[in-house]
Amino acid sequence: MTRYLPGIIAMAAIVVASNILVQFLFGQWLTWGAFTYPFAFLVTDVMNRVYGPGAARRVVLAGFLVGVVCSLIGTQIVGEFGPLVTVRIALASGLAFLAAQMMDIAVFDRLRIGAWWRAPLVSTLIGASLDTAIFFSVAFSTALIMLEPTNDVSWANEALPLLGFGPTVPLWVSLGTADWLVKLALSIVALLPFRVIVRKLLPPIA
């Protein structure tokens, strides 16, 4: 288990940082958390390549537990507009993280034989897409208002042009689209550190 400790620490750090940075806006459509959270897939993929899917799942579960603790703390901290983390956001965050990371592990393992970049790239693209779809729909869609009837999500459902210039959609769809685009871009950027880290831990690269 001690050999997995760096991965667990890295995953926990990313989850904690993302839970903090998601409270701060970057422009109109993003939060700073959008730039840190995608690297959770990098940690998962490195662990999967070097130690296998079992180790990757242990690291993901550790990150999930840290995320749950962060969400519980956030629900108890009241800001200007209520709790920093609502029940819906806590639920959406946990479901999205666990489903996306487990999907990433499964896809990576299926594609691990072949070009070195294929497994991390495809698994991250699929996992990140699933993460975005689950999080934003569970957290903000009016179709799921029964999850927390007292939580007013009308602000997230204001009809606006997609990313300011596209077809008219609820605001949360623009937020999710921007988040998804950042994840796609970072999935490509993360290939370089993935290559370097795996080469260092497991030369030559598998």
In a domain, residue 29? The reply is yes
Query: Is residue 37 pLDDT above 50, yes or no?
Result: yes
Q: How far apart are CA 43 and CA 82, in angstroms?
A: 33
Sequence-distant (6+) residues with CB within 8 A of 21 are 31, 32, 33, 35, 36
In a domain, residue 103? The reply is yes
pLDDT tens, residue by residue, 48-67: 999 999 999 999 999 999 88
Query: Is residue 193 pLDDT above 50, yes or no?
Result: yes
In a domain, residue 8? The reply is yes
User: What's the domain range around 164?
Assistant: 2-201
pTM of the full structure: 0.90
Asked if 158 and 170 touch (Cβ cutoff 8 Å), the reply is yes
Q: What is the residue-averaged pLDDT of the chain?
A: 89
Per-residue confidence at 16, pLDDT binned at 50, 70, 90? confident
Q: How many domains does the chain have?
A: 1
In a domain, residue 82? The reply is yes
Q: How far apart are CA 105 and CA 129, in angstroms?
A: 14
In a domain, residue 206? The reply is no
Q: Helices (DSSP H) in 38-117: which residue ranges?
A: 39-51, 53-76, 87-111
Asked if 36 and 22 touch (Cβ cutoff 8 Å), the reply is no
Selected residue with higher pLDDT from 73 and 139:
139
Sequence-distant (6+) residues with CB within 8 A of 90 are 68, 71, 72, 74, 75
For residue 177, the domain's CATH number is 1.10.1760.20
